[in-house]
A and B are shown apart, each in its own frame.
Chain A
């Protein structure tokens, strides 16, 4: 009789139950029933701890809210829209590293540096570089002299995801990337950071690991080893941040991001020209200009701990501009004239569960996928943004860990979508909603100039998802629960030098790369399956010594991914962007019509429909070495839903295998 638990059957029903449950908890607290009395009733709620639930019969709504004995419900957000949206702060480059100079190979000098994670309160420590591999093509691409340098540290900061007005004492321990140059004392720490980079200017990002060591409390999850992956830059493996290339607190790694377009050393050795009205003769760049990328992000990728460490906070933006060919310039008066500067705002969506003290909770024993009952934007629950009456560029990122989202505006206005998966589209798409699987990105233009001052518009996620396995594909009715971010239109008159909306909606941006000159010689199939609850690819479990494919450098291949259904998988392939050729044997629909690095397969891939098969073409150019392909439902990834491929020269004995 203690197990009378009624399972909620839909998101909205579950929400109602939770609401009723929270009322009960509030009533109990208001009534001043003692802990002892509560204890006798079979539950303890709220007071300074997780809401723990036992003996479900006593309070029916409570019993229903906890669909299993391990469920946790976050403290409610009763004061929405009282906190401004945190704007990711742009890291500031350094002229010279404070420590030893960087080189092609591993730096063998030590650097004595304060490690906030060392000992109970932090202490100085001799940092060493963990990277062992040399940077490929370092000298050819200008070496150290060409680099813009950054010094970042992965460390623990204090952060409040909730409204300060409602929970002034909440203080979540977040692990994130901090720009040491602009944040030396940590007082300006923003949860989500941003690096701005330009094509033609390589970046050398020195990442120190200053995560807590020893027996410091980790709030129950996460590991103090990191491997920041720049998703999905065209980078060599030693700077890619792969799952096995993680390093410990007290070490650093020099990540070298050449910011050069794919094809530069293979299919487009002599470079390409982009012409526009301002440059009728064209502007030259190395590689294929049609491989220009724009919105990337970097996040931890430590094998088996990616979900925990990214959930812990290690996720930031890397926005790559292309001023060299007068395209996406970071200046709204030139090039494509996209809204720029303070009108170019990245938005990171991630959902979390909090305990009653405001700490993040992560169930390390969950195997399906983690769903949070609080959805956050740039690490805030229900923030607001006062917008000027002009055009903005927002860069949406679904940072998971497992939730699919479908974004729309509460006034039913349409987005002008200019990029998919971080890649500028051939031409903008005018769409009323945008679905994103974990790690997928979308850049949109929203024009607030036509709204009256004081107008309120909400950015919403109305996609139903009931568990970590994936979305149902159902679109929920708009409600306070689906609202993520509140836009308030200000009365200020401001200049808008970006192109007119009509131009932004019609101008040619980046046509799809021409793949016809690189014939397909090899086709491969990968089936994402499961047996006895363990993920496998082509029937095999992940093994770090096994390389599943050896594409030849410079070649193009056709890969087909299949999934048996019952699950949703956003599959990510490192190294290059690919082009979807067909989905379920049919021509790709709008979401697939771009260069991509994450593709949704399985249930709810598009609409409510499942996808059993997807075929894409991908080139493997310029860099030699190993990269993974994995499910970006990071819980699945951590449970070995992954393979590795290795790009080899044509002379390699394994070439093409």
Chain B
């Protein structure tokens, strides 16, 4: 047996009947070969997994929510009584900063850390309670898909103990202009005016820092 045959046989062995049967349909997505261009980088960075909005709509994370948009992403859950209420209140201020642009070219996503509890109906009730308006979508999905998003978007705490504890979840907003592949992050409890400014500063024709406002 030559080397090629050996490896081919190994492949066959690895892909035994049982293993083949276990490959889920969506598996193809995660093994898409990545080459050095934006499309492939985006596919690699943003899993295009199905998620469900608080309106009960099933959407694909990358294609429908991220691609060619300016976005703000955070993770939260409706039962959270730690930093989440403050975060939601603060992000509502950020929402106000952007005004009419929200839902037009800028979108905010809050992804549930307790998808098993936060059904679309629960999220819907939450958005009504907090008077969340269009352009800000709460998302849930299968536990596996939410975990995948959490991992890819850098919301896993490197301390495994802290990572298991939802109340210690990362209270940061990640923001970006997807078409330009510009991504930054800031504490979700930071000054809302500047959370909005950080995004505008990244825009080619956006505002720029006004130093006179920053001299204490």
Please state if A44 and B33 are interface contacts (CB–CB under 8 Å): yes
Nearest A residue to B205 by beta-carbon distance? A248
Contact A33 B7 (CB under 8 A): yes
A535 to B36, CA, bound (A): 33
Distance of A359 Cα from B41 Cα, bound (Å): 12
Taking the closest CB of chain A, its distance from the CB of B175, in whole angstroms, is: 9
Bitwise interface map of B from 177 to 201 toward A, beta carbon under 8 Å scored 1, else 0: 0011111111111110010011001
Complex Cα spacing A31 to B2, Å: 9
A49 & B35 in contact (Cβ 8 Å cutoff): yes
B172 nearest CB neighbor, chain A only: A534
Nearest neighbor of A58 in chain B, beta-carbon distance: B14
Say whether B31 contacts A70, CB under 8 Å: no
State whether A69 and B216 are in contact (beta carbons under 8 Å apart), knowing that A304-B184, A545-B191 are contacts in the complex.
Answer: no
B-side contacts of A49, CB under 8 Å: 33-36, 40
Contact check, A365 vs B153: say whether CB atoms are below 8 A apart: yes
CB distance from B16 to the nearest CB of A (A): 11
A50 to B4: give the CA distance in the assembly, Å. 23
Name which residue of chain A comes closest to B14, CB basis. A58
Shortest distance from the beta carbon of A50 to any chain B beta carbon, whole Å: 4
**Stretch from B22-30, B105-113, B117-125 forming part of the interface with A:** B22-30
Name the B residues within 8 Å of A219 (CB-CB): 36
Q: Are A223 and B202 in contact (CB under 8 A)?
A: yes
B157 contacts the other chain (Cβ, under 8 Å)?
yes
A640 to B187, CA, bound (A): 8
A40 to chain B, nearest CB (A): 6
Interface pair B187/A220, CB less than 8 Å apart: no
Given A541-B189, A541-B190, check contact A638 B184 (CB 8 Å).
yes
| Interchain CA distance A547-B216 in the complex, whole Å | 5
A283 at the binding interface (Cβ < 8 Å): no
Which residue, B6, B157, B181, has most C-beta atoms of chain A within 10 A?
A: B181
Find residues 523-548 in chain A having any chain B CB closer than 8 Å to their own CB. Answer: 531-536, 541-547
**Of the residues A48, A220, A245, contact of B211 by C-beta under 8 Å:** A245
> Which residues of chain B are within 8 angstroms of A245 by Cβ–Cβ distance?
209, 211
Given the complex, which residues of A lie within 8 Å of B208, measured CB to CB? 248
Would B171 and A27 count as touching, CB distance under 8 A? no
- Contacting residues of chain B (119-172) with chain A, CB-CB under 8 angstroms: 148, 151-155, 157-159, 168-172
- Please state if A50 and B30 are interface contacts (CB–CB under 8 Å): no
Flag whether B17 is at the interface (Cβ < 8 A).
Answer: no
- Closest Cβ of chain B to A655, distance in Å, is 12
Chain B interface residue number, banded:
35 or more
Interface check A124, CB cutoff 8 A: no
The answer to whether A547 touches B215 (Cβ under 8 A) is yes
Cα of A133 to Cα of B209 in the assembled complex, Å: 13
Task: For A365, give the chain B residue with the smallest CB separation.
Answer: B154
A side interface size, CB within 8 A = 81
CA distance A213 to B22 in the complex (A): 46
Q: Is A355 within 8 A of B36, CB to CB?
A: yes
A654 touches B157 (CB 8 A): no
Q: Cβ of A52: which chain B residues have Cβ within 8 Å of it?
A: 31-34, 44
A469 to B162, CA, bound (A): 15
Could you tell me the distance between the alpha carbons of A365 and B176 in the complex, rounded to whole angstroms? 11
Question: Chain A contacts of B27 at CB under 8 A?
Answer: 2, 42, 54-55
Least CB distance, A131 to chain B, in whole angstroms: 11
Known A31-B7, A355-B36, A357-B35: A533·B14 in contact at CB below 8 Å: no
Q: Which A residues touch B157, using CB under 8 A? A: 533
Whole-angstrom CA separation of A44 from B43 in the bound complex: 14
List residues of chain A with CB within 8 A of the CB of B79.
none
| A640 & B186 in contact (Cβ 8 Å cutoff) | yes
Cβ-based interface call for B116 (8 A): no
* Candidate in A225, A532, A626 with the most chain B CB atoms within 10 angstroms: A532
Q: Which residues of A contact B213 (CB under 8 A)?
A: 544-545
A654 to B216, Cβ gap below 8 A?
Answer: yes
Q: Give A646's nearest chain B residue, CB to CB.
A: B216
The yes or no answer to A589 lying at the interface (CB within 8 A) is no
Instruction: Knowing A42-B27, A133-B211, A646-B215 are in contact, say whether A220-B41 is a contact too (CB < 8 A).
Output: yes
Question: Which residues of A349-379 have CB atoms within 8 Å of chain B's CB atoms?
Answer: 355, 357, 359, 363-368
CB atoms of A544 and B194 under 8 A apart = yes
Please tell me if the beta carbons of B22 and A2 are within 8 angstroms of each other in the complex.
yes
Are B171 and A531 in touch, CB under 8 angstroms? yes
Q: In the complex, what residues of B have CB within 8 A of residue A305's CB?
A: 182, 184
Choose among A2, A132, A646 the residue with the greatest number of B CB atoms under 10 Å from its CB. A2
Q: How far is the CB of B7 from chain A (nearest CB, A)?
A: 4
Contact A31 B170 (CB under 8 A): no
Check A217–B7 contact: CB distance below 8 A.
Answer: no
Determine which of B22, B36, B41, B168 lies in contact with A1 in the assembled complex, contact meaning CB atoms within 8 Å. B22
Residue of A nearest to B210 (CB): A244
Given contacts A55-B23, A534-B189, could you give 11 more A-B pairs where the C-beta distance is less than 8 Å? Answer: A33-B4, A50-B40, A52-B31, A68-B151, A214-B204, A364-B176, A367-B172, A534-B188, A626-B214, A640-B187, A654-B216
Q: Which positions in A face B, CB cutoff 8 Å?
A: 1-2, 27-28, 30-33, 35, 37, 39-44, 47-50, 52, 54-55, 57-59, 68-70, 132-133, 213-215, 217-221, 223, 225, 244-246, 248, 303-305, 355, 357, 359, 363-368, 467, 469, 531-536, 541-547, 550, 566, 626, 638-640, 644, 646, 654
A-B contact pairs, 9 of them (CB 8 A): A28-B7, A69-B30, A221-B181, A532-B83, A534-B188, A535-B187, A543-B190, A544-B214, A626-B214
